[in-house]
Amino acid sequence: MKAVIANDHGAVELSRRIKSHLESRNIEVNWLGITTEDSCDYPDQAKKAVDEFRKGGYDFGVLCCGTGIGISISANKLDGIRCALPQNCFAAALAREHNDANFIAFGGRIAYQDKVEDMLDAYLDASFQGGRHARRVAKIMDLEK
């Protein structure tokens, strides 16, 4: 598997943890995020990751900002992207199973009830269930038209 990651200044340490965790699962990571806490704009980071994802060869993307909200909203404005912002492992698994999310977002300044690494694992270990969910995902994607 291969993933693209991007972050802003609000999630530098979290992105490092995510990169390390994914690599421990033998997932190749292309980290496009910043490594300092110098201010940058999360919409630019979302676009950078999505542009790279669209080149092909990636299985999913991970986006991080202070809350995960701004960067996930930004990604979801871009055609073909379904970026989930899970609050726990259950939501992370269903993001894949029901919504076929191709991006997942987290907040570096959020105190989650479940560890981000555990949420990532729930997302990665789940599979899209298709069926009625495929119909719904198609309707989501039709909203871009």
- Is 21 known to be catalytic? no
In the residue annotation, 65 being an active-site residue is answered as yes
- Exactly one of 9, 21, 89, 98 is catalytic; which is it? 98
Phi, psi (rounded to 5 degrees) for 83: -100, 120
In angstroms, rounded to a whole number, what is the distance separating the alpha carbons of residues 15 and 6? 8
* Residue 73: CA count within 13 A, CB half-sphere: 7
Name the DSSP letter for residue 56.
S
Contacts of 10 (CB under 8 A, 6+ apart): 42, 64, 65, 66, 67, 107, 108, 109
Is 128:97 a contact under the CB 8 Å cutoff?
yes
Say which of 9, 21, 64, 65 is annotated catalytic: 65
Q: What sign does the CA torsion over 131, 133, 138, 142 have?
A: positive
Please name every residue paired with 65 in a beta bridge, in sequence order, or none if there are none: 107
Where in the sequence numbering do the catalytic residues fall? 65, 98
